[in-house]
Amino acid sequence: MNIKDIAKISGVGISTVSRVLNNSGVVSDATRARVMSVVKQYNYVPNSNARNLKMTQSNTIALMVKGISNPFFANMIKEVERQVHLRGCPLLIQHIEDGVDEIGAAVQLVKEKNLCGVIFMGGTYDHSEEEFKQLTVPFVLTTITTIKEVDPSVFSSVSIDDVHSAYKATNYLISLGHRSICFLARFPLVENTIGNRRLLGYKKALEEHGIPYDPAFVEDCEYAPSFGFAAAKRLMNKNKGATAMFAASDAIAIGVAKAVLSSGLSIPGDMSIVGFDGIEMAEYYHPSLDTISQPGVEMAHVSVETLFDLIAGETANKHIVFESLLVKRGSSRKIN
C-alpha cells in the first residue's frame, strides 16, 4: 500500500495525495476529505525511507549519551524523548562506550540517515574544532565538558558551572567548620574532565580559606555506589581525621554514606556528606543527603528546545548555563 495506490483508489493524482498528507499547497475540501477517508480506511502510513530519500533530510534526532544507566541521565533521557516525540520526531539513542569517538559516530550517523539534529549528553569531549565542524546538522552538547579550546560559535551547549558548583559545596562544608574534607570523583587520564573541573572548585574553596590541599584526601572513583563505597573506605583508612566527604555524584555519595554508616560511624555526627546531581534516591536515603542539585529535566528540555531552534533556522549558537542549587537536607553538620 503506497501513495500511488491511495491516489488510484481516491481517484486523484499522486501529488494531490502528497499535498493532503503534508498539508502543503492547496487542495479542495472535497478532495482532501476523500483522500483522508481512503488513507484511514487502509491504515496507510507513508514510507519515511522514501520520503527521507527524496528530501535528503529526515526528521530523526540522535541522542549520543554516556552513562545511560546513571539515574541522573535516565531522567534527562526521558525528558529528551518526551520533548522530541512531542515534536513528531523519532529518537535514535546511541550509548557511547568509553574510548569511542562520539563526534565521528555522529557524523557517520548523520550521513547515513540524514539526521536533522544531534544531542550529545554527558562525558568529556576531546575534539578539535575541525571535528565539530564535520557535523553538518545542528547539535547541542548537554552536561558535557570539552577539553580543547573550541570557538564557542561552533557549538551550542547546556551546562552548569562545575567549578563554581563544587566551590559552593566545599565552601559550605568549610563554613560548617570542616577542614579535613575528602573529594571523590572520576579522573580519567585526560585533563579538564568534569571530575577535574569540580576538583578545581574544591581546591579554590580550600585555598580561599587557607586550607592546604592534600592529594591524600582525593580519590578516583566511578560514578556508582559500589565505587563510592570502596573509595570512601580507602579514604577513611588513609585519613583518620577526615570529617567530611564531598562526592561528585549522588550515586557516589550513596556509596560513601554506606561506607560511613556500615563502619559504625554516624552521618552527620561523625562524617558530613555532600553529593552532586540531585537524584531522588539521595533525598530518600537516611539521612537524606545534602547535594548540589542540577536541574536535569529542565536542562534536557532546554537542550531539545535549543536544538529545534537551530533546526528551524536560528543561526546563533547558544551557551546556556544553569544554576546549580545547594540543597541542605541533614547529612552535614557544624563542627566546633
Partner DNA sequence: GATGTGTATCGAAACGATTCGAATGTCGAA
Partner DNA sequence: TTCGACATTCGAATCGTTTCGATACACATC
Assess 4 for contact with its own copies (CB under 8 A).
Answer: no
The entry of DNA, its own copies, none near residue 226 (CB within 5 to 8 angstroms by kind) is its own copies
Assess 18 for contact with DNA (CB under 7 A).
Answer: yes
22 φ, ψ (degrees, to nearest 5): -105, 5
Asked whether 192 and 148 are in contact (CB, 8 A), the reply is no
Assess 15 for contact with DNA (CB under 7 A).
Answer: yes
The entry of DNA, its own copies, none near residue 19 (CB within 5 to 8 angstroms by kind) is DNA
Which of 21, 93, 230, 335 contacts its own copies by CB under 8 A? 93
CB proximity list for 20: less than 8 A, separation 6 or greater = 27, 31, 32, 35, 36, 39
How many residues bind DNA (CB under 7 A)? The answer is 30
* Smallest separation, CB 220 to its own copies (Å): 19
The entry of its own copies, DNA, none near residue 16 (CB within 5 to 8 angstroms by kind) is DNA
Assess 189 for contact with DNA (CB under 7 A).
Answer: no
Residue type, 13: G
Which of 33, 41, 42, 53 contacts DNA by CB under 7 A? 53
Local structure of 269: helix, strand or coil: coil
Which of 23, 40, 43, 54 contacts DNA by CB under 7 A? 54
Asked whether 259 and 229 are in contact (CB, 8 A), the reply is yes
**Binding pattern for the stretch 21-50 against DNA, x by CB under 7 A and - elsewhere:** xx-xxxxx-xx------------x-xx--x
Assess 112 for contact with its own copies (CB under 8 A).
Answer: yes
8 vs 148 by CB, closer to DNA? 8
Report which of 120, 127, 126 is spatially closest to residue 143, judged by C-alpha positions. Answer: 120
Q: Which residue has the cell 562525558?
A: 123
What nine digits make up the cell of 329? 537536607
The entry of DNA, its own copies, none near residue 24 (CB within 5 to 8 angstroms by kind) is DNA
Count of CB atoms within 10 A of residue 196's CB?
Answer: 19
Ranges assigned E (strand) in 249-318:
272-277, 290-293
